[in-house]
Amino acid sequence: MSKSDRTANLAITIALVVAIFFLWNTVFLYPLKLLVVFFHESSHAIATILTGGNVIAFEVVPQAGGHVISAGGNRFITLTSGYLGSLLWGILIFSMAVSSKLDRAVMAVLGSLLIAITLLLGSNTFVLLFGISTGITMLLSAKFLTAKVNDFLLRIIGLTSMLYVPLDIYSDTIARSHLRSDAYMLAEEFGGTTIIWGGVWLVISVIFIAFSLRQLFKLRS
C-alpha cells in the first residue's frame, strides 16, 4: 500500500468513525448493532465447541441482546471470548476490506458464515430470521454490487464491531457492574470483580484496536 493510499484510507476511516459516532443511537446503526451482538454470541458458541463443550442455546433478541447456554467446555475461555471474539471479527473484516481487493469474496464468505452459524446453532426465531436474512443480503451484495460498494460496507461493519466492543464493555461491566454480564460470571467463578475483569477487557480492546490501525496504516509517531 502506497503512502497516498494509506493517507486516503486513514481519511476514510476517520470520516466513517465520525459518522458512526453521530449515528450511534439512530435506527441506521440498529442492524449493525444486532450484527455485532451476533458476532459476540457466536464467539461464545464457537469457543464452547472448540474447547469440547456443547451449545444448548444460541439466541439474539430484538433489544440488541442475546445469550448462549452451554454445557462443558473451558469456562474461562468461553466467557472471555464474547467481547474479545466480536472485536476479532471486526478487526479481521476491516483489515480485509482495507488491505485486499477481494471485497466481494470476503462479503460472500462472511454471508455464508452467518448462514452456516445460524442454521447450525441458532435456537430462537429472531436469530434464525436475522442470521439467514443478513447472510443472504451479504451474498446478494457480493454477487450484484461492485467491489467498491462491498469494500465500503465491509469497512462499516468492521469499524462498527470494533467501536462497539469497548463501549459495550464499559456500559455492561463498569457503568452497570450489577448486571449479570460475562465479567460478572467470570468474577463469580474465578475471583476478582466485575469491574476488574471489565477493565482488563477494556484495556485489551483499546490496545488491539490501536495496534491494528497502526499496523494497517503504518502509522508512525
189 within a domain of the structure (yes/no): no
171 within a domain of the structure (yes/no): no
Q: Which residues contact 6 (CB under 8 A, 6 or more apart)?
A: 217, 218
Q: pLDDT value at position 221? A: 40
Mean pLDDT value across the chain:
91
Highest mean pLDDT among 19-23, 59-63, 174-178: 59-63
59 within a domain of the structure (yes/no): yes
Q: pLDDT value at position 183? A: 93
- Band the pLDDT of 201: cuts 50, 70, 90: very high
Which pTM was predicted?
0.91
90 within a domain of the structure (yes/no): yes
151 within a domain of the structure (yes/no): yes
Whether residue 198 contacts residue 71, with contact meaning beta carbons closer than 8 Å, is answered with no
Query: What whole-number percentage of the chain has pLDDT above 70?
Result: 96
d(Cα 10, Cα 28) in Å, to the nearest integer?
23
Q: pLDDT value at position 139? A: 98
Mean pLDDT of 212-220: 73
Q: Which residues contact 170 (CB under 8 A, 6 or more apart)?
A: 198, 202
Mean pLDDT of 100-109: 95
Q: State which residues form the domain around 65.
A: 3-160
72 within a domain of the structure (yes/no): yes
165 within a domain of the structure (yes/no): no
> How many domains is the chain built from?
1
Mean pLDDT of 90-106: 93
- Band the pLDDT of 4: cuts 50, 70, 90: low
22 within a domain of the structure (yes/no): yes
How many residues belong to the chain? 221
